[in-house]
Amino acid sequence: MNWTEICVNPVLRELPFKIQTDKWGHIIMSPASNEHGMYQAKIVALLSRLLEKGVIITECSVQTREGVKVADVAWASDDFIARNRGDNPFLEAPELCVEILSPSNTAMEMDEKKELYFARGAREFWICDKNGNIMFHKNTGEIHCSELAGTFPNRVLI
């Protein structure tokens, strides 16, 4: 099943899970918690205040060499949207991809997602931990503060 078929499948549409695929096209599902949803909303609100232009996307699907990965939150410039509007999944990553850690996530999984998004053109990758702290990364490694969203340092959201 390809990504478009997964998205329109009536059986899969109403599942309370985040769906991604692996490099073989197998569906991977992760349950979403209420706390995860709260952090997602806080990050959207934060990005809305910090980035006046562009588009904020929740559950942003990106085709990678390891399957379709879905960023919890992403920010894309107007130029990105002009190039990619209508693609599902996006064939390139938005400039900013954010992942919110779930209890089932491992450091290795986050490192892999970070590298996959950077390989598709992301400029920054943020990780929000279980306490609401945000860690910022560029393709060269961890950075003290975001360069895309202003210079606020790592902080607690909630």
CATH code for the domain in which residue 117 is found:
3.90.1570.10
Query: Which of 46, 69, 49 has the alpha carbon at shortest distance from 59?
Result: 69
Indicate the number of domains in the chain: 1
Q: What is the pLDDT of residue 106?
A: 84
Asked if 46 and 72 count as a contact pair (C-beta separation under 8 A), the reply is: no
Tell me, yes or no, whether 48 lies in a domain. Answer: yes
Q: What is the pLDDT of residue 70?
A: 93
Express the helix, strand and coil content of the chain in percent, nearest 5 each: 30, 35, 35
Tell me, yes or no, whether 12 lies in a domain. Answer: no
Tell me, yes or no, whether 42 lies in a domain. Answer: yes
Asked if 126 and 136 count as a contact pair (C-beta separation under 8 A), the reply is: yes
Tell me, yes or no, whether 18 lies in a domain. Answer: no
Q: What is the pLDDT of residue 55?
A: 97
pLDDT along the chain (158 residues), means of 10: 64 58 65 82 94 94 94 97 95 97 85 97 95 93 90 66
Q: Which domain holds residue 92?
A: 33-143
Q: What is the pLDDT of residue 127?
A: 95
The Cα angle at residue 102 between residues 98 and 108, in degrees rounded to 5: 75
Tell me, yes or no, whether 103 lies in a domain. Answer: yes
Tell me, yes or no, whether 139 lies in a domain. Answer: yes
Tell me, yes or no, whether 117 lies in a domain. Answer: yes
pTM for the predicted model, two decimal places: 0.83
Tell me, yes or no, whether 156 lies in a domain. Answer: no
Q: Which residues contact 104 (CB under 8 A, 6 or more apart)?
A: 30
